[in-house]
Amino acid sequence: MATRKSRKVDAKTTEEKNVENLVQEFIKLKQDAKKKGLNNAEVREIFLGRRKESKRAAIWVIRAVVGVLFPCLLAVGLQLHQEGFDLESMMESITYPQCAVDFPFLLGEMTRPIADCSMCKGIQSAPVLEDISKEEFLQKYAYSGIPLLVKGATKSWTAMETFNYEYLKDLYESTEGALEAVENDCQFFPYNTDFGSLEEAFNMSAARSELREGEESWYFGWSNCDQTVGSALRKHYQKPYFLPEDSESSITDWLFMGWSGVGASIHIDHVDRPSWQAMILGSKTWTLIPPPECEDVCNTFNITLNQGDIIVVDTNQWFHSTYIHPGQLSITIGSEYD
């Protein structure tokens, strides 16, 4: 969903002032909770840990519902009433910035299966291999949930010399219906940019696309479901050599591109299958965080990918965030496998 821009108004209505006052009261309540030992960062962490069968987790469920959800829902309801149940206003309201836990995150956590902590128990860092056979990968890593970094795994790919911003821009703009397919059938992730779509992202100035002096950094991602574009992309990369012979990659390509800074914030995916992602240009560090129910036996750690590396990770089980290193445009491409 694109970053929303605040609407400009000449004067605040009484209802708007009431909503603001109400929100401020809730903020004060949250500040009081912080004085008693609960800070904003702990809100999400404690909520994530709700599955632990302990008295502390049970207390947090009550705190979450009363202290977080109720204020958000009440603020939403008041704004909807004020706006006459306008759909756009509703979408703005459900991601109201004062809500401590965002709704998509909340709903995802409520439906996430409990993890098997054996996937991460005792692991201090991800294994890093220069080479690995299909047999070893299948036996140790393919479906174990253990993250893996394979160095130099894209040596035969022409994508390393072909993919860049201009190539991808030209490919999408010259393929009829490709940009519309992303808009209507796939997903676009603007992250911290103001781009509302892939088409908007490809319309940025040349100066910004190259991050010339004084220009704002950017990073975005998208899934491709246009067959013509997919065929063109796959002329320049292949299924990673270590995936089992009978393993099939998804027909959906996932691409992420941008300059230095925070990439994706902490999240978990809902794609059902493990994923691989190849570093075509630049370098990127992943932070992998075990599920909260495994935090007593598992560790958080980083994995840094350089050009030519492939990471394999079950993003349905590992919470993760990314950071793009300065110096070069970052481009990655990946998919899921079965």
Q: Is the domain of 167 the same as that of 305? A: yes
Is 9 contained in some domain?
A: no
Same-domain check for residues 188 and 51: no
Angle at 204 between CA 200 and CA 208, to 5 degrees: 145
What gap in Å lies between CA 55 and CA 64, rounded to an integer?
A: 14
Q: What confidence score (pLDDT) does residue 269 get?
A: 87
Q: Is the pLDDT of residue 81 over 60?
A: no
Q: What are the pLDDT digits (tens) for 179-222? A: 999 999 999 999 999 999 999 999 999 999 999 999 999 999 99
Backbone angles phi, psi at 301, to 5 degrees: -155, 165
Supply the range of the domain harboring residue 19: 14-111
- Based on the fold, state whether residues 72 and 212 are members of the same structural domain: no
Domain boundary among the residues 94, 111, 128 is at 111
What CATH number did the domain enclosing 122 receive?
Answer: 2.60.120.650
Question: Is the whole-model pTM more than 0.85?
Answer: no
Q: Is the domain of 266 the same as that of 165?
A: yes
Say what the pLDDT of residue 247 is: 81
Predicted pLDDT of residue 101:
44
Kindly state whether residues 27 and 175 are assigned to the same domain.
no
